[in-house]
């Protein structure tokens, strides 16, 4: 994993990669350069055989990611803005659908593009001081990195409209009640909790996790009968893997499985 990034920090340990946005003076906002670095890091994580899951967070306790860098947004024309949106959408789709679970550890403000980054993560946990907002409407623009689409699928049309039209922030407790985050923990315990979840994921079969992600993503888009057919197909494919044989053998032998990802 490259350590030459300017705007993000990346580390890997025991099958878990941690990506930390490192622009504290800019509330960890997403400049074009930061997005390119995030794309490179994500690609490496997805291709690394020794990495099974990843945590995404921000430096400090104030901001996870306060959105796109407005100083750059203000200079875009129509074609440039569309290209910028497509850049962010492509990266977030990699995070969401790349086949490995990403954990969003929201340590503060998750506004605009930062909220959209969180939405792309399969599991989201928040510190008690976290706040989430799709605040683009206050800049005279709309969500560009997938917020309108993922929010509608996650929290429903009514709440997606409220978040995107009003642009107001909600606190971590409300975010949990709405299904935007799965857990809320004290700030001091956020990374401990994220790492505990990541360690558990890293111990599971990467093939089974990949198929689980695929099945659930399909459930959000396909009619029930199509989703069930797809699930059954993926279930069947699991039985061609060494991981299935290891998992069932370990269970019957009352020992911990050692999944090799094959």
Percentage of the chain lying above the pLDDT 90 cut? 91
Average pLDDT, the chain: 94
> What would the DSSP string read from start to end of 61-75?
TTEEE--B-HHHHTT
Assigned fold of 8-202? 2-enoyl-CoA Hydratase; Chain A, domain 1 (3.90.226)
- pLDDT tens readout for residues 128-156: 999 999 999 999 999 999 999 999 999 99
Are 42 and 78 in contact by the 8 Å Cβ rule? The answer is no
2 pLDDT exceeds 90?
no
Domains 8-202 and 206-252 share a fold: no
Residue with the larger pLDDT of the pair 42 and 218: 42
How many Cα atoms occupy the beta-carbon half-sphere of 73 within 13 Å? 17
- pLDDT tens readout for residues 197-249: 999 999 999 999 999 999 999 888 888 999 999 999 999 999 999 999 989 99
Q: What is the DSSP letter of 257?
A: -
- Active-site residue, from 37, 61, 116, 162: 116
Give residue limits of the domains in the chain.
Answer: 8-202, 206-252
φ/ψ of 110, rounded to 5, equals -125, 80
**Exposure of 157 by Cβ count < 10 A (0-12 exposed, 13-18 middle, 19+ buried)?**
exposed
What confidence category does residue 3 fall into, taking pLDDT thresholds of 50, 70 and 90?
low
Q: Which residue is it, tokens 């990034």?
A: 5
Strand order in the sheet with 183-185: 8-13, 16-21, 53-58, 102-106, 123-127, 183-185
Are 26 and 39 in contact by the 8 Å Cβ rule? The answer is no
Q: CB within 8 A of 181, min separation 6: which ones? A: 106, 118, 124, 125, 126, 130, 132, 172, 175
Q: Which residue is it, tokens 């107001």?
A: 168
136 is catalytic: yes
Which residue, 105, 9, 129, is CA-closest to 55? 105
Question: Thinking of the domain 206-252, which architecture would CATH place it in?
Answer: Orthogonal Bundle (1.10)
242 is catalytic: no
- Active-site residue, from 136, 177, 192, 226: 136
Q: pTM, whole model, 2 decimals?
A: 0.93
Q: Which residue is it, tokens 């206050």?
A: 138
d(CA 187, CA 90): 30
CB atoms < 10 A from the CB of 168, how many?
A: 13
């Amino acid at each position: 994993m490259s350590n030459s990034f300017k705007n993000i920090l990346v580390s890997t340990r025991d099958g878990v990669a941690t990506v930390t946005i490192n622009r504290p003076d800019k509330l960890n906002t997403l400049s074009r350069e930061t997005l390119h670095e995030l794309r490179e890091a994500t690609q490496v994580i997805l291709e690394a055989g020794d990495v099974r899951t990843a945590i995404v967070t921000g430096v400090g306790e104030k901001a996870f990611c306060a959105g796109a860098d407005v100083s750059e947004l203000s200079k875009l024309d129509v074609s440039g803005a569309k290209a910028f949106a497509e850049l962010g959408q492509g990266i977030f789709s990699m995070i969401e659908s790349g086949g490995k679970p990403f954990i969003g550890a929201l340590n503060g403000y998750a506004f605009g593009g930062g909220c959209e980054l969180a939405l792309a993560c399969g599991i989201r946990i928040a510190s008690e001081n976290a706040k989430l907002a799709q605040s683009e409407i206050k800049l005279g623009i709309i969500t560009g990195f997938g917020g309108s689409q993922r929010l509608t699928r996650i929290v429903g049309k009514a709440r997606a409209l409220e978040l995107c039209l009003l642009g107001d922030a909600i606190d971590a407790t409300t975010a949990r009640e709405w299904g935007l985050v799965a857990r809320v923990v004290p700030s001091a315990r956020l990374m401990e909790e994220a790492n505990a979840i990541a360690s558990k994921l890293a111990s599971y079969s990467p093939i089974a996790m990949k198929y689980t992600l695929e099945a659930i993503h399909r459930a959000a888009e396909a009619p029930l009968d199509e989703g069930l057919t797809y699930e059954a197909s993926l279930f069947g494919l699991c039985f061609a893997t060494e991981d299935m044989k290891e998992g069932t053998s370990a269970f019957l032998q009352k020992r911990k499985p050692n999944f090799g990802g094959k």
